Amino acid sequence: MATPTHPSDRVAHVLSLMQEGDDAFNRHDIAAMNAAHHPDMIAHVTGSDTPTYGRAALAAALEGMFRIAVNLGSTRNRMKRRDR
């Protein structure tokens, strides 16, 4: 995908990426989330006092989170239970 150059195109592109991430999170699709992240990414996960370093570490953390909270979902960066 070409990098958008006009500000409104960039915003639309970022919002699209955010929606793809939410959709992958809601499917608990770790492979899709991995594909969207840089291998050396840093995540600041709510509830953790230390950052998560690297795509592999984030995938492991998400696998554990999804195992514990099977109804966990997201809507535009707001966490929720999917049955509500």
Residue by residue, pLDDT tens for the chain (84 residues) are: 566 667 678 888 888 888 888 888 889 999 998 888 889 999 987 788 999 999 999 999 889 989 998 888 776 655 455 554
In this structure, is residue 23 part of a structural domain? Answer: yes
In this structure, is residue 24 part of a structural domain? Answer: yes
**Domain boundaries, position 69:** 7-81
CATH number, position 74: 3.10.450.50
- Please give the full DSSP string across 58-72, using - where no structure is assigned: HHHHHHHHHHH-TTE
Q: What is the pLDDT of residue 69?
A: 86
Q: What is the pLDDT of residue 51?
A: 95
Count of domains forming the chain: 1
pTM of the model: 0.68
In this structure, is residue 2 part of a structural domain? Answer: no
